[in-house]
Amino acid sequence: MNAKKYLEGIADNTAKIHCKLAEIEQLRSLATSISSLSSGAHVQSSSESDRIGRIVSDIVDKETELDAMVDDYIDEKGKRIKLIEQLDDRLQYKVLHKRYVELKSLTEIADEENYSYVWISKVYSEAMKKVQNILNSIH
């Protein structure tokens, strides 16, 4: 398994969760717009309530999916963090943690740690080699 792809899984899963949240928000917005339109009318047709019912059902299904995604995300993120924590070098650990858990760029990390971008890039590269060796020994 490729170390970079493995660690990038944190960001990938975060993006999936944000997309699922956006889907739920869109459905909620749609449900409230339909109900507010129909509440002003004197006669409510059954098709409008059916649409609202379908939307509410979709919301519940998507929230169930989201719960499962969050549970998986927490487990997978924990595994990846434990992998990073195996690094003995404190700076290497910080660089990988900031890069893959906090989702910061190497430039941001260099600024925060008061090192040059070139030095942080070297630290990052060495840390990734160590993580790759750990992954190779596991698989």
Distances (CA, A) of 124 to 57, 94, 98, 137, 138: 46, 10, 11, 20, 21
User: Contact 48/38 with Cβ under 8 angstroms?
Assistant: yes
The confidence score (pLDDT) of residue 37 equals 54
User: Contact 65/13 with Cβ under 8 angstroms?
Assistant: no
Type of residue found at 92: Q
The confidence score (pLDDT) of residue 50 equals 80
Q: How far is residue 59 CA from its own chain's centroid?
A: 20
- The pTM of the full predicted model, rounded to 2 decimals, is 0.73
The confidence score (pLDDT) of residue 51 equals 82
The confidence score (pLDDT) of residue 10 equals 86
DSSP single-letter state for residue 130: H
CA angle at residue 109 from 107 to 111, to 5 degrees? 70
The confidence score (pLDDT) of residue 138 equals 87
pLDDT string in tens for the chain (139-residue length): 899 999 998 888 889 999 999 999 999 998 888 755 555 555 555 566 688 888 889 999 999 999 999 999 899 899 999 999 999 999 999 999 999 999 999 999 999 999 999 999 999 999 999 999 999 998 7
The structure tokens listed for 86 are: 């195996």
Cα gap 24→30, rounded to integer Å: 10
The structure tokens listed for 123 are: 């630290």
The confidence score (pLDDT) of residue 91 equals 98
The confidence score (pLDDT) of residue 53 equals 84
